Amino acid sequence: MRDLWAFATHLYGQHDVERQCLAWQTQGGDVCLLLCAAWLDREQVPFSAPRWLELQALSADWQKTWLAPMRALRQQAKAWCAEDAARHALRERLKAVELDSERALLAQLAQAVAAWPSSSDTAGEAGWLVALGTGEALRARLRAASGF
């Protein structure tokens, strides 16, 4: 399977994907899980409920314990940090740690699925994205941007 981080950064950089991912996140969605689901669909890994629960649990732990508090701090401090160059520099460092943390989570998700085989029987399906509860518009955008 292709590298999840490379896939995620490529997909995130496609037209309008970042905006849609951030809108998904604002509504309570997990962007790392979203990108992993798109990757699994792209790699034609058949969906299964037990596998899905495993990924959800892994990501939820990271989100609750680490990423969500860090993201909240970064967002809350935006105006305060804009007033001072030193504060702004600290916020940028926090942003970099947040990105490193997302990369680490994606690495753990990739490790969890490493042994899951692909199947040509699932070509063109979006089972993982459907399980995540994405709307059709977001699924269509991710499918188009990722080439599946």
Contact 128, 52 (CB under 8 A): yes
Q: What is the rounded CA–CA span in Å between residue 129 and residue 138?
A: 9
Contact 146, 20 (CB under 8 A): no
pLDDT in tens, 66-108: 999 999 999 999 999 998 999 999 999 999 999 999 999 999 9
Q: What is the rounded CA–CA span in Å between residue 71 and residue 56?
A: 19
pTM exceeding the 0.75 threshold for the entire prediction: yes
Query: Whole domain around residue 8: which residue ranges?
Result: 4-146
DSSP label of 120:
G
